[in-house]
């Protein structure tokens, strides 16, 4: 994927007051990220929901609280990972972002990836995977499968909101979080990763 070479100030400057797509019309906040901008693991969701829009922070609603719980279970501290979304403004009624909305916002996500330079990118759900891989994937079949994409290892898993509806997905989700943590540790230790 093409990467815009931004620094953080330029990125925040560009985001501030962004009107590149219709999602700007009803937003309260531009929800950029939470966590550590030097993190080894980056989580990418779909887009802010109502509570995220109100608070300006990703994953603070019901799905976010469940996500926090499972992060801890996997031995990950929310403050030590980087969390963001494909689109930075809330889609109305929490619908999926439309392709043109996602495309307008992708330069921001690409800049975030380039600036954070995580060791591992975890795509939370189909929509995030769609825009990171630049193609549709079947999350139920491909979750947990690590791929190298340029400089990054990418791991798709379920969106935490899916676990609210289908509790039986929880074990796989936590397993994938543990995989991401172990993978980041192995890369950090200089291990050669065979896929």
Give residues in contact with ligand URA (CB under 6 A). 45-49, 52, 58-59, 61, 63-64, 85
Q: Please, what is the minimum distance in Å from the beta carbon of residue 186 to ligand URA?
A: 27
Give me the residue whose beta carbon is nearest to ligand URA: 45
Q: Please, what is the minimum distance in Å from the beta carbon of residue 154 to ligand URA?
A: 17
Nearer Cβ to ligand URA (5/112): 112
Q: Please, what is the minimum distance in Å from the beta carbon of residue 115 to ligand URA?
A: 19
**Are the beta carbons of 161 and 65 closer than 8 angstroms?**
no
Nearer Cβ to ligand URA (83/111): 83
144 Rama class: left (phi>0) / alpha (psi -120 to 50) / beta: left
**Are the beta carbons of 124 and 159 closer than 8 angstroms?**
yes
Q: Please, what is the minimum distance in Å from the beta carbon of residue 45 to ligand URA?
A: 3
Q: Kindly report the CA angle at 195 between 42 and 171, in degrees rounded to 5?
A: 60
Nearer Cβ to ligand URA (35/45): 45
- Is the four-CA dihedral 98, 99, 102, 104 of positive or negative sign? negative
Nearest C-alpha neighbor of 45 from the set 84, 102, 1, 95: 84
Nearer Cβ to ligand URA (59/153): 59
Distance (Å, whole) CA 89 – CA 105 = 9
């Amino acid at each position: 994927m093409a990467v815009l070479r931004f620094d953080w100030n330029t990125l925040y400057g560009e985001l501030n007051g962004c009107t590149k797509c219709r999602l700007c019309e009803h937003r309260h906040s531009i929800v950029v990220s939470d966590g550590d901008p030097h993190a080894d693991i980056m989580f990418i969701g779909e887009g802010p929901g109502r509570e995220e829009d109100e608070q300006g922070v990703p994953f603070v609603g019901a799905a976010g609280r469940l996500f926090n719980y499972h992060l801890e279970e996997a031995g990950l501290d929310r403050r030590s990972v980087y969390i963001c979304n494909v689109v930075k403004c809330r889609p109305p009624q929490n619908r999926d972002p439309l392709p043109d909305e996602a495309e307008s916002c992708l330069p921001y996500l690409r800049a975030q990836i380039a600036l954070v330079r995580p060791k591992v990118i975890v795509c939370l759900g189909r929509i995030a995977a769609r825009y990171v891989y630049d193609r549709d994937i079947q999350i139920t079949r491909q979750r947990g499968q690590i791929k190298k994409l340029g400089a990054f290892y990418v791991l798709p898993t379920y969106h935490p909101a899916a676990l609210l509806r289908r509790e039986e997905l929880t074990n796989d989700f936590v397993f994938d979080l543990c995989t991401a943590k172990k993978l980041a540790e192995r890369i950090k230790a200089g291990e050669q990763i065979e896929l």
